[in-house]
Structure 1
Amino acid sequence: MSAEIQQQTAEQETTESSTGLDSNVAGALAYLLGPLTGIIFYVIEEDDRFVKFHAAQSIVFLGGLVILSIVLSTLLTVLTLVPVIGWIISAVIGLIGLLFAPIMLVVWAFLMYKAYQGAEYSIPVVGAFARSRMVE
């Protein structure tokens, strides 16, 4: 068998996690509600490293986006109090945020899709950080 066929076969094999769900389903669900479901699956999953990895990556990536969103919202609120220049800066940051949001939505859907396929897709930097924080 070629390496590509072996990889596809390995990705298609599913095991059952300690949640009672197939690993690929639990991995995809870890992303569903952002860091909330990531935390839930990280805490309740006992043995399945695949599910724990996707849960940890969900916590780090999507949790980071939530924190970034809160910080930017606070910054924009403060900037709107500054006449003219604050309004201009907050408008520019707001427009960048509007462009950034659909990209993050696509990344979120892609991560759920890859987890459902059974692939342990790792976001550069974020995935390595999440993997290093996983408790054995």
Structure 2
Amino acid sequence: MTYRTAIKLNENIVGLLCYLGFWLTGVLFLLIENNNKFVQFHALQSFLTFLPLTLFIFLVAWVPFVGWLLAEFVGFGVLLIMLILAFQAYRGSKFRLPFVGNIAYNYIYK
């Protein structure tokens, strides 16, 4: 069963959208969505996952040569994580990443 959200879309689609803009859409949907816990969970997990990774890539990229290469590899990994999380949200799953997923789940659902 799918439920409507504050922006009048199904929660699975909004859950997917929480990941497509990395941490920016996570913050956006945390501010917009007040009633749907599924969307809030995915928005918070997106924010807690991608903000530190974005900062890490930004800081590592300042190191010449080795940092650039590491930032590229980490960036591809982050893109893969984003695609997996977006697909799981679209399927309606509350897929949790090992550390931040548990924090987001406990914050939203308890």
Coarse TM-score class (shorter-chain normalised): 0.7 to 0.9
Distance in structure 1 (CA, Å) of the matches to 2:44 and 2:38? 10
Q: Deviations over 1:74-96 (max 9, x none)?
A: 4x1xxxxxxxxxxxxx4333323
- Determine the structure 2 residue equivalent to 1:127: 101
Where in structure 1 are there 5+ consecutive unaligned residues?
Answer: 1-12, 77-89
- Determine the structure 1 residue equivalent to 2:18: 30
Residue 74 of structure 2 is aligned to residue 100 of structure 1: yes
Q: Deviations over 1:87-111 (max 9, x none)?
A: xxx4333323322222221111111
* Structure 1 position 43, deviation (Å): 0.7
What amino acid maps onto 1:125 in structure 2? Answer: F
| Bigger-Rg structure (1/2) | 1
Distance in structure 2 (CA, Å) of the matches to 1:115 and 1:15? 13
* Structure 1 position 135, deviation (Å): 8.9
Alignment of 1:71-82 (within 5 A): 71-74=59-62, 76=63
- Determine the structure 1 residue equivalent to 2:31: 43
What amino acid maps onto 1:23 in structure 2? Answer: E
Q: Which TM-score applies when normalising by structure 1?
A: 0.72
Of 90, 97, 101, 1:116 maps to 90
Contact kept, 8 Å, 2:57 with 2:75, in 1: the verdict is no
CA RMSD of aligned residues (A): 1.8
Distance in structure 2 (CA, Å) of the matches to 1:25 and 1:93? 36
Where in structure 2 are there 5+ consecutive unaligned residues?
Answer: none
Alignment of 1:57-72 (within 5 A): 57-72=45-60
Task: Report how many aligned residue pairs link the two structures.
Answer: 110
Distance in structure 1 (CA, Å) of the matches to 2:34 and 2:73? 38
